[in-house]
Amino acid sequence: MLLGYCGSGYYGMQYNPPHKTIEGEILTKLFDVGAISEENSLAPKKNSFMAAARTDKGVHAMLNLLSLKITLREDTVAKLNAALPPEIRVWGIQPVNKKFNARSACDSRWYQYLIPEFILIGPPRSSLLHRNVGGCYREDGSQEVWDTFLEQTRGRFSGDELCRLQDTAQKLSESDPLVQDYVGLLSGTLSGYCLSPSKLDAFEAAMQEYVGTHNFHNFTTGKLWGDPSAQRHIKKVVVSQASPGWICVRIHGQSFMLHQIRRMVALAVLAARCQLPPNIVRNYFNAGPRKYIPRAPAQGLLLEGPVFDGYNTKLRNLLYCEIRPDDITLERMCRFRERQICTAIAHEETQRHVFCHFVRQMNRLATPLI
């Protein structure tokens, strides 16, 4: 089953009752259209459910692939799409042999990460982040934006409130009304930030440092430097301006660990913001004590699609249809990405200011980056 989904409001891909998940929604609708039994609708293992790539809470997919056992009829896809909510679409269902496993047959995966341009603004002089990299940072016009914001905060918040907001010892929740008010004001100010070509180039240069085989133990949880499972291979990274105010990062890798991409993007953002040399990224592949890297928001991450080159070669040799979307389906997927996924990402930023919260989090970073 080839499918796409907007992950906003879902607790990830994998079936996890009582939480709302993509697999849970698919199972329910498969039963509703008569493709599986009621008993099997409550147990994915009975249907041999296996995804080519798991996505976490809030993460989207332009294309993912599920291998599963169902009763397939001519109108199954049409009935499923009629029953499913608009944020989940089935692109097609293709018969495969009984031994096919979506996860093991997948050679590699393409991911995208969308970030607003303002996330690359330099840190304010008063921030902990600026103090940590003070010797490397040269003024690039960002401080003018922060000076404007400072004037706005003085007219909006009391001295006591500003102290609470700036005190790193006080771990105020993002849901705290004071923080929400502060970040809402910050969002309006940052929207006026103009990204320079050199800042975008610096971010891309940092992202290119990931290409190759490296030890990504600092980019996930529970891994030590000597753990062989932390070795991952990144095939390609492409950075471009996706739309006015937004940057798209495309990453092609064999496989990824929990939070790996979000931390890869976060570290490259920090390097570009602070004007650190791109090869600072290499320090995080080295042996030694674990280094802290914040996680960029999940809302910007989407699975572009799994790749089945090896399996498709076997299918071609046997004169079978390959596992890949045709041109018409690809057009539908691209429209879905724009209308459902990109719209949801932009809406979340407008309503919840997730990337503004992340800018504030980075500004308060006390851990040395060098």
Task: Cite the annotated binding site by residue number.
Answer: 111
DSSP string, 177-206: HHHHHHHHHHHHHHTT----HHHHHHHHHH
Residues of the binding site for substrate: 111
Query: What 3-state class would DSSP assign to 281?
Result: helix
Q: Are 57 and 298 spatial neighbours (Cβ–Cβ below 8 Å)?
A: yes
Take residue 211 and report the two structure tokens written for it: 């290409």
Strand partners, 90: 3
Say how far apart CA 286 and CA 355 lie, in whole Å: 29
Q: What angle do CA 119, 8, 261 make, to 5 degrees?
A: 50
DSSP E strands, 68-129: 88-92, 108-116
Of 333, 343, 348, nearest in space to 62 by CA: 333
Q: Using the 8-state DSSP alphabet, how is residue 308 labeled?
A: -
Say how far apart CA 96 and CA 157 lie, in whole Å: 62
Q: How many Cβ atoms are within 10 Å of 167's Cβ, its own excluded?
A: 11
Of 126, 205, 137, nearest in space to 369 by CA: 137
DSSP string, 29-69: HHHHTTSS-TTGGG-GGGGT-EESS---TT-EEEEEEEE--
Take residue 288 and report the two structure tokens written for it: 């030694």
* Given the residues 32, 56, 107, 176, the one annotated as active site: 56
* 147 is an active site residue: no
Q: What angle do CA 363, 196, 174 make, to 5 degrees?
A: 25
**Catalytic annotation, residues:** 56
